[in-house]
Amino acid sequence: MLTKNLQNKLGWIELITGCMFAGKTEEFIKRLRRHSYAKRNVVAFKPIIDDRYSIDKISSHSGSQFESYPVKDSLQMVEKIKELTKIKKIDVLGIDEIQFFDEGIVNLVQEYADKGIIVIVNGLDKDFKCEPFKNVDKLLVQAEYVDKLSAICHNCGSNASRTQRIVNGKPAAANEPVILVSGEEQYEARCRHCYIKPK
């Protein structure tokens, strides 16, 4: 995926995106581990509201985990990074579920990449209404490397690129909240043809 940098200049943004159940977190953890194996100092963060599988670990649906710091917003992340940097220089910064953070996170990601840190983030590209998710939409044009993953449609088995929120066995209405952290009991991956636009 990455080409050799002949001048050894580090500092870029990698974005892993797509719908739910596409394997974004699995890929994210894999990349963070690879940098850890290369003896780089990897620090990962997750939104404190995402406690589905663990409070202080980034966890995929399949059970892979990576140690992380849960934070409520980008300001708390900055404070923690300052604290950690006093101990050891950070080489790789991982941010899980970036769509759940405040919009200040986008400038923060840019700032750290400019400082020579490899920033790897993941997040949903669109919400359950099939509209662009905040932060991810801006990072799509800022990131050097973008991987959009697809899932398998819950209904027909085709490639899925959309997330269907299910409430009481039926597709959620358009007036439901955009952010609702949950697992497969409330969401399904759907293809273009099986996805039902909320009304």
Residue 135's nearest CA partner among 149, 118, 119, 152 is 119
In terms of DSSP bridges, do strands 12-18 and 162-167 run parallel, antiparallel, or are they unpaired? unpaired
Marked catalytic residue, from 97, 103, 111, 144: 97
Annotated catalytic residue 103: no
Cα(197)–Cα(160) distance, rounded to whole angstroms?
14
Catalytic residues: 97
